[in-house]
Amino acid sequence: MSRRFLAHLGVPRVRESILDGLADVRAHKLRTFLQTLGVILGVASLVAVQGLVDSGRRQATKFFDEFGGLTKILVVNRPSKEILVTAQQLASHGLTWSDAQAIRQEIPNATLVDPIASEELSIRYGDYERRNDVTGATPDYSAVYKFYPAKGRFLIQDDMASQARVCVLGDTAARRYFGNEDPVGRILTIGEVGFRVVGVMNRKEFYFGEGDHNALEWMNEQTFIPLTSLYARFTGDDRKRVQYINVIVDKVENNPKAAAAIRALVRRRHAGITDFEVINRAERLKQRAEQNQVFDTVFLVSGIVSLLVGGIVIMNIMLASFRERIREVGVRKALGASGIDIAMQFLVESILVTVIGGTVGLGLGVVFAQIISSLVGQPAVITPQMAVIGVSASVTVGLVFGLYPAIKASRLNPVEALRYE
Amino acid sequence: MRISRGVVSAVPEDYGPNPAEPIIRLNDVHKVYGSGEDEVRALQGISLTLDPGDYVAIMGPSGSGKSTLMHILGCLDVPTEGEYVLAGTPISQMSARKLARERNKRVGFVFQSFNLLPRANLARNVELPLLYAGVGRAERRERALSALRKVGLGERAKALPSQLSGGQRQRVAIARALVNDPSIVLADEPTGNLDSKTGQEILALFGELHEQGHTVILVTHDPNVASRAGKIIRIVDGKVANGAAS
């Protein structure tokens, strides 16, 4: 914008208008408070919602990140719901190891493929014995879950090839069987077969709120053996069925494409029946956000409604106090103020009032967010976005609802305005 | 080139293209308010000419049209008919925006009730015409202080109007009227709200302005006030009733 155009709009007078507005605010503290109340509450609720929504989204993303992130696609068994079952369909036995191999070979975006099967077995060390799930996993598991050994190593390809009798323990499992002893190199008896412990995993922890339980404790409970060893030594399953297959895709953007390709591939391999489900995690998160949207919308609408009410109150008070300013407008016009100068002055003042309200509302909104988050046990996130939302919402209200009084003032006839008592 | 000078001591430079040209020329000016039965003919063919440096009183009873004449002279309003030329600039057909600019540049107003902004200090009050003229902040402040000094209130620049006496307030208003070097100073009953002693002081100040070369127009119904002026223009029923007009 050129300087002349800005001057035409009365912009160089903005500073003076702000000073005038501040003097007016100081002179009418109660009026200003009443004027800004709606804006304060409106901005506060907008900011609080933004904080909570943001905090929720961050928590979910962070949680998922702990075991695979948003690029993960999960393929799980889901028996066909069709009642009439054809012979072909009977021939399908759910997801198998070879489905996983096929995904690895045929889906170009799949960077990690990790089929998993598990079996409940007795586990014994010394005098201590209990039945527990044993997870048959592949070397990719560690990278898929971003779950790495604290001591020793995770399962490797050689273990798979030789159906080795080796196992890796989660932190809690290791403590349970070995107490304070170092488990690495010791023999754990799993289903009457001796397995050498080759590694202990890092401890995984995630708390959604203070005092909450560890949402990732199930990972610390794990006992891993090579998937091939599980088949060979325990299940004796020739078909090599798996419970689910984790697939990590190279980029989140490729998730939908990869999910569709996996769906088509596995369906083809299962004789055209869908006895499985492909769960795209990014999609999940989006669905969850959509479900939450009802809640968010209610808050958003209530915020907007109170901003509107606040704006109407501001306009109302500006119009009510308009009379006492008519003469002032007349004087300013007599001294050479144009209609645009007057309109700018009124607009700057109404925006000033709403920005004051918005700033107070911002502070209040942060406090609201903290209180609500402590009630639901979720940490509140305070972001620069909140300030942007608070300020832009209040400027908008000031602009929209200041416009009518501003235009009205700008159109006053100087002769009549000067004569006004 | 525009040269910024001391306010009261200086002769306004804006005399128009030719110094011999009158500062004000009204030619058969009519002003009609309303229409049909409600029609009010406030001015009915006023013609007059004022020269630079004139000190003129416009007199007349209420309802005579002297206020309307003042509004037209002050560029607050335009004639329904006729021609008004102020300092070489034809005013008669101007848009509101251009009129505001002319007013800002050429007219300094002094009102009966002072009309200072109550919440602005004296310096900011006096600065207002410069603000609307687009003068920068530092120059505004400097010229406002200089104008306040000329009316003897240089020390009170930070005071609020409510802290001043009536006479002092009117001095501030005069400083404000002069700060932008106007072609004419237009005072509407400037002593109407003052006691007679203070009124005399204010009139003395107008006398000084006249001696310094300013064109001063007093609008008044008070013969004692009018007698200070060099010329008296009597308005009766929207017409000039004496020979002062040319």
Domain boundary among A224, A248, A274: A274
In chain B, % helix, strand, coil (3-state, to 5) comes to 35, 25, 40
pTM assigned to the model: 0.67
Phi, then psi, of B139 in degrees rounded to 5: -65, -40
Q: If phi over 0 gives left and psi between -120 and 50 gives alpha, with beta otherwise, what is residue A191?
A: left
Q: Give the pLDDT of residue B182.
A: 93
Which domain range does residue B116 map to? Answer: 52-77+107-240
CA distance A407 to A198: 80
Residue for token pair 């006053």: A412
In a domain? residue B207 = yes
Q: How many CB atoms lie within 10 A of CB A302?
A: 15
Q: Give the pLDDT of residue A64.
A: 72
Looking at the structure, do residues A138 and A209 belong to the same domain, yes or no? yes
Q: What is the DSSP letter of A177?
A: H
Looking at the structure, do residues A194 and A98 belong to the same domain, yes or no? yes
Taking residues A84-90, report their average pLDDT.
Answer: 62
Looking at the structure, do residues A34 and A107 belong to the same domain, yes or no? no
Looking at the structure, do residues A223 and A265 belong to the same domain, yes or no? yes
* Tokens at A114, concatenated: 């990790």
Task: Please determine, for residue A404, whether its predicted confidence score (pLDDT) is greater than 60.
Answer: yes
Q: Give the pLDDT of residue A67.
A: 67
Task: Please determine, for residue A292, whether its predicted confidence score (pLDDT) is greater than 80.
Answer: no
Beta strands A166-169 and A193-201 are parallel
Task: Report the run of H or E that residue B92 belongs to, with start and end.
Answer: none
A24, A337, A418: residue with CB nearest B132: A337
In a domain? residue B172 = yes
In a domain? residue A69 = no
Contact A418 B128 (CB under 8 A): no
CA distance A106 to A51: 43
Tens of pLDDT, residues A316-356:
888 888 888 899 999 999 999 999 999 998 998 889 888 89
Task: Please determine, for residue A299, whether its predicted confidence score (pLDDT) is greater than 60.
Answer: yes
Contact B115 A341 (CB under 8 A): no
Number of residues that this document lists for chain B = 246
Share of residues in chain A with pLDDT > 90 (%): 26
Q: Give the distance from residue A320's alpha carbon to the nearest chain B alpha carbon, in angstroms.
A: 19
Domain boundary among A239, A274, A309: A274
Question: CA neighbours within 13 Å on the CB side: how many for A338?
Answer: 18
Q: Give the distance from residue B76's alpha carbon to the nearest chain A alpha carbon, in angstroms.
A: 6
Looking at the structure, do residues A151 and A299 belong to the same domain, yes or no? no
Contact list in B for residue A6 (CB cut-off 8 A) is none
Do the beta carbons of residue B219 and residue B51 sit within 8 Å?
no
Domain boundary among A274, A304, A330: A274
Report the number of distinct structural domains present in chain B. 1
Contact list in A for residue B117 (CB cut-off 8 A) is 20, 328, 331
Nearest Cα to Cα of residue A372 among A363, A364, A380? A380
Residue B198 belongs to domain with CATH number: 3.40.50.300
Q: Give the pLDDT of residue A68.
A: 67
In a domain? residue A160 = yes
* Tokens at B31, concatenated: 């002003």
Looking at the structure, do residues A268 and A343 belong to the same domain, yes or no? no
Q: Give the pLDDT of residue B3.
A: 43
B77, B101, B120: residue with CB nearest A415: B77
Share of residues in chain A with pLDDT > 70 (%): 90
A positions 193-252 inside 8 Å of B (CB): none
pLDDT higher at A20 or A169: A169
Q: Give the pLDDT of residue B175.
A: 95
CA distance A57 to A321: 45
Q: Give the pLDDT of residue A297.
A: 77
Chunked in runs of 10, what are the mean pLDDT values of chain B (246 residues)? Answer: 42 52 92 86 92 93 89 92 92 89 94 91 94 90 95 93 94 94 93 92 93 93 89 91 56
Q: Which residues of B touch A (CB under 8 A)?
A: 71, 74, 76-77, 96-97, 100-101, 103-105, 109, 111, 115, 117, 119-120, 124, 128-129, 131-134, 137, 176, 180
Cα–Cα distances in angstroms (integers) from residue A361 to residues A281, A351, A391, in the given order: 36, 14, 9
Tens of pLDDT, residues A128-138:
888 989 999 99
In a domain? residue A74 = no
Q: Does A349 touch chain B (CB under 8 A)?
A: no
Which domain range does residue A324 map to? Answer: 3-63+287-419
Contact list in A for residue B78 (CB cut-off 8 A) is none
Task: Please determine, for residue A204, whether its predicted confidence score (pLDDT) is greater than 80.
Answer: yes
**Could you please report the per-residue DSSP string of B99-130?**
HHHHHHHHEEEE-TT----TTS-HHHHHHHHH
Taking residues A396-421, report their average pLDDT.
Answer: 90
In a domain? residue B146 = yes
Q: Give the pLDDT of residue B127.
A: 94
In a domain? residue B137 = yes
Q: Give the pLDDT of residue B8.
A: 44
Looking at the structure, do residues A53 and A169 belong to the same domain, yes or no? no
B104, B119, B131: residue with CB nearest A13: B131
* Tokens at B234, concatenated: 């009597």
Nearest Cα to Cα of residue A394 among A46, A11, A31? A46
Q: Give the distance from residue B30's alpha carbon to the nearest chain A alpha carbon, in angstroms.
A: 17
Looking at the structure, do residues A94 and A242 belong to the same domain, yes or no? yes
Alpha helices in A66-205 (DSSP H): 87-90, 97-106, 140-144, 157-161, 171-178
- Best of B103, B181, B219 to substitute, by most chain A Cβ atoms within 10 angstroms, is B103
Q: Give the pLDDT of residue A73.
A: 85
Q: How many CB atoms lie within 10 A of CB A3?
A: 9
ipTM of the complex: 0.88
Q: If phi over 0 gives left and psi between -120 and 50 gives alpha, with beta otherwise, what is residue A188?
A: beta
Nearest Cα to Cα of residue B188 among B238, B130, B115, B123? B115
Contact A16 B176 (CB under 8 A): no
In a domain? residue A72 = no
In a domain? residue B16 = no
Phi, then psi, of A49 in degrees rounded to 5: -60, -50
Contact A7 B74 (CB under 8 A): no
Looking at the structure, do residues A261 and A375 belong to the same domain, yes or no? no
Q: What is the DSSP letter of A234?
A: I
Looking at the structure, do residues A144 and A22 belong to the same domain, yes or no? no
Sign of the torsion angle spanned by Cα atoms A373, A378, A383, A389: negative
Task: Please determine, for residue A391, whether its predicted confidence score (pLDDT) is greater than 80.
Answer: yes
How far is C-alpha A58 from the chain's CA centre?
A: 4
Report the number of distinct structural domains present in chain A. 2
Crossing angle of helices A384-410 and A29-65, in 10° steps, is 150
CA distance A337 to A282: 58
Contact B115 A418 (CB under 8 A): yes
Strands of B24-33's sheet in order across:
B40-50, B24-33, B81-86, B89-90
